[in-house]
Structure 1
Amino acid sequence: MTDFNIYCDESRHTSDPTQPFMVIGGVRCPRDRKHDLVGQIHRMQARHNAHGELGWKRVSPNKAEFYEELLGLFASTPDLSFRCIVADRNKLDHDKFNGGDAELGFYKLYYQMLVHWLEKGQTYHIYLDWQQNQTQHRFHDLAKILTNKLRDHAGIACLEPVTSSNLPLIGLADVLIGAVGYAWNGLGASGAKLRVVDLLAEAAGLGTLARGTPRTAQKVNIFCFDGSVRG
């Protein structure tokens, strides 16, 4: 049995209607590799003078070399993997499936992203980037439902919200999620961001990020959701 950490974030779940595709995803690594990987990222930041919180919004020409090296770390580290779920917000029928509660639908997507990723016999520590919810206990409810579903299959040691500014691996997740969303929404104004998109596609062995991967894909797994957010 191996203990894993999963660092989760999301992109475009409430943003511009001209960018309909939202992405929820996470980066996974063995728990005993966390300190080494975080140390490597911190050293990269120091080399490139890229201090502070890292993330997709910070990808820019003057930080391009740092983010290229960060993608190189992800691509060359077998212990790092990425999974995400992509959904067209325009096709999510929250009235039909969630009693009009879009926030509930959002956490059902989080559930779908996670439940098919957690492997039998392993234990998981899951960290979600904190956000303000309209309804209390969303994180607790997600943890409870996952635990009940995976009983006698995989263990969930914790599922808790955290502040992303203190966790570079959530920052890495944000970068990868942002790259997938950039591709699916057909954006291309930033050459630096397009370079990150290309590097992630290369790491995944894909010609483009704007399509789903096979369910069995290990390094990079992109799941295109069909729009039915059922319980």
Structure 2
Amino acid sequence: MYPYGGLYVDIPYLLYVLPALILASWAQIKINSDFNKYSRVSSETGLSGAEVARTILDRNGLNDVRIEKVSGNLTDHYDPRTRVLRLSNGVYGYTSIAAMSVAAHETGHAIQHSEGYFPLILRNNIAPIANIGARMVWVFILLGFLASEVFIEVGIALFLAVVLFQVVTLPVEFNASRRAMLQLENGIAPQDKLKPAKKVLTSAALTYVASTLVAIGQLLRILTMTNRRRD
């Protein structure tokens, strides 16, 4: 906090975090808009999202990967621990371009896992530490201000794991989308549906870019605040 006109203004937040949050909000609006738009447009494949996923998995030798429906909107994900691909309500049973695109993207993660794709392995190993860092960083920073600077160092180290997780997520997600497009181009999607499918995947990618910038912004904010205290 910095004094300004009798008020205390969080300048690091305004400089580093707020612009990234604005971008993140815009990216979320865009993916929701594109998903909703192309949820109303048929893929003309005759295949539901679950059937698209099953087709891609089977032809890549992943017959043992199960497909389940999960509640929520855009909650689709692949769980490498149980080898289960979970598709949301708007994807699992629908034959839209959006459902086809999202289902193909998630199969990309399953293929990554089967091939031992290193960035995915690295992200999965970082995830537990990043989860702790995201929850506990401000607790350690507060303890550092109240007690010992050692807690600040621990907090920063934990949050570095959060930033690293977000950075590593970018190639994982971009690669999954690239794999998805290759699969769709290989006899699943009609030629005129490939461009809108790519648009859905690109919009989704922007949300990961924004999340990474938010994490970096928070790290810069923390470093600025803690360095000022040390000075």
Normalised to the residue count of structure 1, the TM-score between the two structures is 0.25
Structure with the bigger percentage of helix: 2
Structure with the bigger percentage of strand: 1
Normalised to the residue count of structure 2, the TM-score between the two structures is 0.25
Greater length-normalized contact order (CA 8 Å, ≥ 6 residues apart): 1
Bigger Rg over Cα: 2
